[in-house]
């Protein structure tokens, strides 16, 4: 007969997750391959998360996505959200990723912030602004 119930594992996607999907598509249009998403230290305490990782023949890019509804500034701008504490967590996650994935050592690393603007009017993303090398402290 008919199954009127949703499977337990299907949850509606948040605006943040939709923004991450749209950002990945932007990087694909630029010729990058997405090799990981929502990457974090899986052993012990979560040190930080990388929204997704993109590669081409020369670079490996760790991307932090910030999605904002253009009708509201309730949470401030996406760029403001990537403060020094967030940057430190991203750097820690990137370093842990390299420890687990040494095959990417020869690629030039880069940390980008991708700002996604969402319009509730037509339920679409209006802008993807990529801030390349947004975090550069590799010490």
State the pLDDT at residue 46. 62
State the pLDDT at residue 137. 67
Confidence bin at 132 (pLDDT 50/70/90): very high
Share of the chain above pLDDT 70, in %: 81
**Tens of pLDDT, residues 37-95:** 988 776 655 667 899 999 999 999 999 999 888 777 676 777 777 888 889 889 989 99
- The answer to whether the beta carbons of residues 91 and 135 sit under 8 Å apart is yes
CA–CA distance, 112 with 65 (Å, rounded to integer): 8
DSSP letter at 104 equals: G
Confidence bin at 111 (pLDDT 50/70/90): very high
State the pLDDT at residue 27. 96
- Regarding beta strands 108-119 and 49-55, do their DSSP bridges make them parallel or antiparallel, or are they unpaired? unpaired
Domains of the chain in sequence order: 22-131 (3.40.1350.10)
- Between 9 and 22, the more confident residue is 22
Query: What is this structure's pTM?
Result: 0.84
Of the candidates 1, 26, 4, 128, the residue with the CA atom closest to the CA atom of residue 68: 128
């Amino acid at each position: 007969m008919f199954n009127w119930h949703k499977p337990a594992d299907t949850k509606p996607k948040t605006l943040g997750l939709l923004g991450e999907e749209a950002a990945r598509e932007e990087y694909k249009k630029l010729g990058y391959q997405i090799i990981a998403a929502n990457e974090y230290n899986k052993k012990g305490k979560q040190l930080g998360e990388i929204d997704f990782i993109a590669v081409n023949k020369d670079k490996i890019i760790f991307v932090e996505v910030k999605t904002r509804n253009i009708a509201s500034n309730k949470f401030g701008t996406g760029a403001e959200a990537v403060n020094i504490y967030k940057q430190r967590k991203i750097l820690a996650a990137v370093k842990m990723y390299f420890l687990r994935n040494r095959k990417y050592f020869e690629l030039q690393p880069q940390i980008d912030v991708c700002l996604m603007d969402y319009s509730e009017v037509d339920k679409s993303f209006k802008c993807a602004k990529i801030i390349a090398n947004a975090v550069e402290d590799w010490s």
